[in-house]
Amino acid sequence: ATPTAVMVATGKGASQGVLIKGGNALENAHKVKTVIFDKTGTLTVGKPHVVSTMIFSSMSIEELCDIAAAAEANSEHPIAKAVVEHYKKLHEKYGSNRENISEVSDFEVHPGLGVSGSVSGKVVLVGNKKFVQAYNVLVSPKVEDYMMESEQLARTCVLVAVDGMIAGAFAVTDPVKPEAEQVISFLRSMSISSIMVTGDNWATATAIAREVGIERVFAETDPLGKAEKIKEFQWESINTSKEVSALCIRDPRAAFPHFLGTMKGVAVAMVGDGINDSPALVAADVGMAIGAGTDVAIEAADIVLIKSNLEDVVTAIDLSRKTLSRIR
């Protein structure tokens, strides 16, 4: 595209809340055949809240909530905020005489897993099954049942282990964005396929995907795993191995999926909001960050969706398609 066309399109995008960081992003966006979506905060609202509590010990609900909130108090994770918020609400409701959340020491964040710390002399773990099992905490069939029930309802189950035993659990729910389903089906009508990649568990991820109409899901994926997935789909969308090896002989740069993909006119977009998503946003041909997301994600992206509305994924691709077809 000519510099003028890029300027016009960038200005138009900005007025619609789509911040395009350069000519390259604009050029690549019309080639997008695959959009990979993060789940939490991208397809979902990103403000989970506790909808159920289960006790698996002699602890009272108040005690469990306090211990869990204490362990999560210093974490920035949306689940942590949900647990702390839940404690505060419980406190308001019953007016218990405990004014503040207990103190935590030896606090540690375990990305994609949970948090650990020491509360009132007890060792506390708050996180997923993989996390507590790594500390040799037994997850009983009763706990498994509760987890399965929650996950089938698209909820994420948060386990609380105290001194090596599961004391209780919470189920948190994070509703999908109201526009999500329509955007996925609109993309399909543009011959663009949508995929979900998330750090959350398979059952919850699958349930959310079903709600929004996404058929392909990759769950329990860490940040680098998300970037790896992008590369796989760059290859998949290119997809003709014979042609690829012929091209590699002619031009060694063709060994890089990004180069080959853009040369062949296909591109993969990633939409995400978290620190977790930044390697994938960089790896994608077009990285799109949710405006309400973390600064790290916004910096890593080529396009920022200021309004945090998924409809603007379509706006961006559309703008690129129109700009580039006008030039030809």
Distance, in Å, from the CA atom of 20 to the CA atom of 13, rounded to the nearest integer, reads: 7
Site for Mg ion contains 41 (CB under 5 A): yes
Q: Which listed residue (29, 64, 65, 126) binds ligand ADP by CB under 6 A?
A: 126
One of 38, 174, 273, 302 is an active-site residue; which one?
38
Q: How far apart are the first and last CA of the chain?
A: 9
Options 25, 26, 32, 158; binder of ligand ADP; rule CB under 6 A = 158
Q: Is 40 in the site for Mg ion (CB under 5 A)?
A: yes
Of 166 and 196, which has the nearer Cβ to Mg ion? Answer: 196
Q: Which does 273 bind (CB under 5 to 8 A by kind): ligand ADP, Mg ion, none?
A: Mg ion
* CA–CA separation, 81 and 68 (whole Å): 11
Shortest spacing between CB 200 and ligand ADP, in angstroms: 4
Helix (H, G, I), strand (E, B) or coil at 310: coil
Residue 159 β-bridge partners: 127, 169
160/72 Cα distance (integer angstroms): 11
Q: Answer positive or negative: Cα dihedral of 320, 323, 325, 328.
A: negative
Label residues 233-259 b or e (16+ Cβ within 10 Å = b): bbeebbeeeeebeebeeeeeebeebbe
Of the residues 117, 274, 279, 287, which one makes contact with Mg ion according to CB under 5 A: 274
Specify the residue, 38 or 312, whose C-beta has the smaller distance to ligand ADP.
Answer: 38
Q: Per-residue contact track with Mg ion, 101 to 140, x per CB under 5 A?
A: ----------------------------------------
Q: β-pairing, 18-20 with 104-110? A: unpaired
Distance CA 177, CA 44 (A): 5
- Residue 234 is inside which H or E element, if any? helix 223-238
* 40 is a site residue for ligand ADP (CB under 6 A): yes
Confirm whether 38 is a catalytic residue: yes
Q: Which is nearer to Mg ion, 38 or 151 (CB)?
A: 38
Give the C-alpha separation, 100 to 227, whole Å: 41
Give 171 or 270: the residue with its C-beta nearer to Mg ion. 270
What is the rounded CA–CA span in Å between residue 311 and residue 163? 47
Quick check: 244 and 250 in contact, CB under 8 A? Answer: no
Give residue number: closest CB to ligand ADP: 199
Amino acid identity of residue 233, one-letter, is F
Task: Select the span of 99-107, 121-129, 136-144, 291-299 touching ligand ADP (CB under 6 A).
Answer: 121-129
Instruction: Return the ∠ at Cα 124 (arms to 51 and 276), rounded to 5°.
Output: 65
Contact between 279 and Mg ion by CB under 5 A: the answer reads: no
Between residues 31 and 77, which has the closer beta carbon with respect to Mg ion?
77
The total of other beta-carbon atoms located within 10 Å of residue 188's CB is: 14
In the range 274-293, which residues lie near ligand ADP by CB under 6 A? 274, 276
Q: How far is the CB of 250 from ligand ADP (least distance, A)?
A: 39
Asked if 114 is part of the footprint of ligand ADP (rule: CB under 6 A), the reply reads yes
Question: Interface with ligand ADP includes 73 (CB under 6 A)?
Answer: no
82 binds ligand ADP (CB under 6 A): no
Report, as residue numbers or ranges, the catalytic residues: 38
Q: Which residues of this chain interact with ligand ADP, rule CB under 6 A?
A: 38-40, 72, 75, 77, 79-80, 112-115, 126-128, 156, 158, 198-200, 274, 276
Q: Which residues of this chain interact with Mg ion, rule CB under 5 A?
A: 38, 40-41, 273-274
